[in-house]
Structure 1
Amino acid sequence: MLMLQRIFTMLTTLSELIRFITGFFKCRTALQLEVLALRHQLNVLQRKSPKRPTLKVWDRLFWVWLMRLWPAWRNALVIVKPSAVVKWHRKGFRLYWRWKSRKKRPGRPPVPKELRDLIRQMSRENPLWGTPRIHGELLMLGYDVGQTTVGKYMVRPEKPPSQTWRTFLENHSNQIVAMDFFTVPTIFFKVLHVLILIDHERRRIIHFNVTTNPTSAWVIQQIREAFPWDTTPRFLLHDRDQLFMASQFAFKRMGIETVITAPGSPWQNAIAERVIGTLRRDCFDHVIVFNEAHLRQKLGEYVAYYHGSRTHLGLSKDCPVHRDIQPKEAGSVVAFPVLGGLHHRYERVAA
């Protein structure tokens, strides 16, 4: 052990002696840089620090500068690792390049909020429109904006673009028939089920029937009776009632394409829901039904009144079956009771 310590001491002394001798052959500039590096490190070590020497920004800049100026800078570095100096140099280069790459001139003028909101509104209201279509529309409105700017502020749908329910129903109103069930209790609390089929174009009740025990076979038979031969509609709109869902294959064989509403979304079959509400408010909220035959009779009376006399907001105050306007010269107004006087039909009758 003692021998090893002596050998280590001799090697240390020899290395110091070699460094001292080679110092005579160094150029004066290298010696001055080495002295500068050592003095800088001594100043850092003399600072008051609780744990370890702290290097400030100027210390790091000094070593980065020394690394670029003196190739043998690693030999004089003691308090930090050379890799740390290289890291400082790279960080400094990134900061320098960021500063050099800064915008020297202002870029494009900012897009006004009004225009940004209009682009988003157009893209939401017209899901089938692309960037060129919206850009062309904005040009027609007098906005000087680039197509890339329009694409930047468009609202991107998560799913493929699809028309709204309202657009679909309006575009196919003359080819859509809505179908739905509603119930009416009798005087003895027996529940009767009513199936109605409504034409979307004129709000006509094409077919209705009553049963105490509805089945899918009964539903299919009602469709056959409502649309004999080649009079079937293109679309049949209904909810997810299990009787309707069980009849899909039969509907398909008839050449009918079913449109099924989303779960818990009665507003998607709004016309059928509205007609059922009208039947309740105008008739069955005021009538006590005795049996199935009585219900069918009252339904027939009201449907006749509904088609030929009752005006509709959705038809510009016309009736499902067009009702001519009677001039004043046609005679005096006479009231005809409907449903025992629950409603009345008014016509001009010549004296």
Structure 2
Amino acid sequence: MLLRLAYLGLTNAFAILRLLPMSDREKDVEILALRHQITVLEQQLSGRRVRFEASDRAFLAALLHRLPAHALHRVRLLVRPETVLRWHRDLMARRHATRSRPKRGGRPRTVRSIRALVLRLAAENPGWGYRRLHGELLVLGVKVAASTVWEILKEAGIPPSPERTSTTWADFLRSQANALLACDFFAVIEHASRRIRVLGATAHPTASWVTQAAKNLVMDLEDAGCPARYLIRDRDGKFPELFDAVLKDAGIEIVLSGVRMPRMNSIMERWVQTCRRELLDRTLIWDQHHLMHALREFEHCYNQHRPHQGIANARPLRALPAPIDNPEQIAPINIRRQDRLGGLLHEYQHAA
């Protein structure tokens, strides 16, 4: 475009030089001839628009924009005078944009590790807005603009902080796991360690029996040093008000699950299902004494030996042992089985 524009300027400069020796009469005759040729061209186009190259538009705009509006309207052109003025405005806008373009590039793209750190902080702290995240980055020695943090969150599709601060039931259970118990009338389970405590069994769960079970639970928790703060239970009518009062005096708050919503007490419900599938459905219970013996044996196996996926396959009262890395120890491995309840439950361990 620039080369063609220079060519047009040069050729028209020679045309002006050619007009210098011409008289006014000769110039008028040439102007009339040009206007007539334009009229013939318009008739042949039959209303079709003439397409001008960018260099042609720039040359005509630079040549005609200084003419007064009334003089411009008298000039015979293939386009309207308003079109010529628009061409000139576009030409000036492009010229201004070219001059205003920065001589160096913008800010460099944010380092990938910083972006990952921002997203991690936002995921682990839903209540933090971009200003709080920006402050935390400064504390860590990472200097970025607050607007950069906002852009990273926006590109990742993370909503503003007020839309992320709502706590779900799963979040509540995870955050309070170390101080949370779940109850299903005859047993209590700790959410953090998955340790089970069998409260007892009776054919007639009276209010006094349930209240005594609560007192036994409180004493057991105090002896074990378990800092429980909440206990989730269902809305069974067998739980008297005194049951909640005993636990409240011990600093344990009662959390009621929703009506017909077993998932709100899912860990306890899962244990009940496990107890039925692995013990009660495979045992013929004779009396209450036999039932308590079976429950105590299952409680010991559950807490001391059975792995749990919810705690990375560890056991409630025993951590996972160190893995065996020595091939010489794996080859002659010797495993011994210990039976409980007549072989109903199996426990495996290394032979001495």
Instruction: Please say if 1:150 is aligned against 2:149.
Output: yes
Q: How far, CA to CA, are the matches of 2:278 and 2:178 in structure 1?
A: 26
**2:189 match: secondary structure:** strand
Q: Percent identity over the alignment?
A: 29
Shift of the 264–116 alpha-carbon distance from structure 1 to 2, 3 Å rule, reads farther
Asked if the contact 2:191–2:267 (Cα under 8 Å) also holds between the matched residues in 1, the reply is yes
Mind listing any 5+ residue stretches in structure 2 that lack a counterpart? 1-23, 219-227, 319-336
1:124-166 C-alpha deviation (Å, 9 max, x unpaired)? 1222334455445545666453443233213533623256766
Distance (whole Å) between structure 1 residues aligned to residue 276 and residue 137 of structure 2: 48
> 1:261, 1:269 within 8 Å by CA — same for their partners in 2?
no
Residue of structure 2 in register with 1:325 after alignment: none
Correspondence for 1:69: 66
**What residue in structure 2 maps to residue 24 of structure 1?**
none
Alignment-derived partner of residue 117 in structure 1? 116
Aligned partner letter, 2:74:
N
Amino acid aligned to 2:65: R
Q: 1:317 offset after TM fit, Å?
A: 4.2
DSSP 3-state at the match of 1:145: coil
Q: What is the CA–CA distance in structure 2 between the aligned matches of 1:169 and 1:343, rounded to whole Å? A: 30
Aligned with residue 54 of structure 1, among 50, 57, 60: 50
- Which has the larger strand fraction? 1
Query: What is the aligned-residue RMSD (CA, Å)?
Result: 5.3
Q: Residue 279 of structure 1 is aligned with which of 272, 275, 285?
A: 275
Query: What is the alpha-carbon distance in structure 2 between the residues aligned to residue 220 and residue 274 of structure 1?
Result: 26
1:160 counterpart = 2:151? no
Matches within 5 A, 1:61-210: 61-71=58-68, 72-77=71-76, 79-131=78-130, 133-135=132-134, 138=137, 143-154=142-153, 156-157=158-159, 159-162=163-166, 168-173=172-177, 175-179=179-183, 196-200=187-191, 203-205=195-197, 207=199
In the other structure, the counterpart of 1:214 is none
**2:327 equivalent in structure 1:** none
Q: Distance in 1 between matches of 2:39 and 2:164?
A: 68
Distance 1:46 1:106 in 2: 48
Question: Do 1:236 and 1:258's aligned partners in 2 also have CA atoms closer than 8 Å?
Answer: yes
Residue 129 of structure 1 aligns to a residue whose secondary structure is coil
How many Å apart are 1:262 and its aligned residue?
A: 12
Inter-partner Cα distance in structure 2 for 1:103 and 1:263? 65
Partner Cα distance (1:41, 1:222) in 2: 115
Distance 2:104 2:37 in 1: 43
Shift, 1:237, TM fit: 3.6
**Matching residue's letter, 2:189:** I
Separation in structure 1 between the aligned mates of residue 206 and residue 41 of structure 2, nearest angstrom: 95
Per the normalisation by structure 2, the TM-score is 0.54
Structure-2 change in CA distance of 1:336 and 1:39 (3 Å): closer
SS at match of 1:69: coil
Deviation at residue 304 of structure 1 after TM alignment: 1.7
- Contact map agreement 1:67 1:73 (CA 8 A) in 2: yes
Partner of 2:332: none
Structure 1 stretch 70-79 or stretch 82-91: which is displaced more?
A: 82-91
- Cα distance in 1 for partners of 2:91, 2:267 equals 71
TM-score, normalised on structure 1?
0.54
